[in-house]
Amino acid sequence: MRTLAPAGRPAGASPATPDRPSAAAAAAAATAPHGERLDRYDIAILHELQRDARLSNAELSTRIGLSPAPTWRRVKWLETQRYITGYRAELDRRKLGLGVLAFVRVDAERSAGEATRELEDAIRRLPEVISCHYISGAGTFELQVIVTDLEAFSQFSIKTLLNLPNVKDIHTSFSLGEVKSGAALPLSHL
């Protein structure tokens, strides 16, 4: 028979405080059904999967300090809630012969809803465009375009970009070197 410490706590167990719940309370919280807010285990999962999305569930559970079954359930919940929207390999564009990264501001002819949607749809279909954002200030969209070389970009801009629906003008800047890319999202605010 085990002896009990004061207040029914097993002997040797550390007391729970408002800042540090008991081990049993922490385990119950880790495996409890999910609320609307992310907790420390969810944030740890997001952090670890951003660093290495190929982690096995067993390795992920070890890194975050939770057993495999609740870790798996939490990953599935994060996917269902669209915190995790996909998994992909990060490729070296230069090794693949894609030496030019251009930032292209697209000025649209007009900003009417239908005309803008038509331009958006056309941009989405271009594999050379790896990202597209609405921007403030001058211009309508900021694109990141990757192609093999300057000649390929010249042809792409003349034959494709300038012929997209409702495009008035384009303005291009070229990357001269990457300082940081493909970075994980900051999670310290959570």
Domain annotation covers residue 189: no
Co-location of 48 and 73 in the same domain: yes
Strand order in the sheet with 129-134: 129-134, 141-147, 100-108, 167-174
Non-local CB neighbours of 190 within 8 Å, separated by 6+ positions: 38, 43
113 and 75 belong to one structural domain? no
CA distances from 55 to 91, 152, 166 (A): 18, 38, 45
Q: Is residue 105 part of a domain?
A: yes
53-93, pLDDT tens digit by residue?
A: 999 999 999 999 999 999 999 999 999 999 999 999 999 99
30 found inside a domain: no
DSSP state at residue 7: G
What tokens does 179 get? 């300082």
Quick one: 152 and 118 in the same domain?
yes
Where residue 72 sits, what CATH number does that domain have?
1.10.10.10
Kindly report the CATH number assigned to the domain that includes residue 114: 3.30.70.920
Instruction: Confirm whether 169 is domain-assigned.
Output: yes
In three state form, how does the secondary structure of 9-57 look?
A: CECCCCCCCCCCCCHHHHHHHHHCCCCCCCCHHHHHHHHHHHHCCCCCH
In a domain, 127, yes or no: yes
Tell me whether residue 123 is in a domain: yes
| Count: domains in the chain | 2
Instruction: Convert the pLDDT of each residue in 120-138 to its tens digit.
Output: 999 999 999 999 999 987 7
The answer to the question of residue 4 being in a domain is: no
Whether residues 143 and 80 fall in one domain = no
Extract the tokens encoding 17: 């405080």
Residue 190 resides in a domain: no
pLDDT above 50 for 11 = no
Instruction: State the Cα torsion 153-158-159-163 to the nearest 10°.
Output: 130
Q: pLDDT grade, residue 4 (50/70/90)?
A: very low
Structural domain boundaries enclosing 161: 100-174
117 and 78 in a common domain = no
pLDDT at residue number 20: 53
131 and 77 co-located in one domain: no
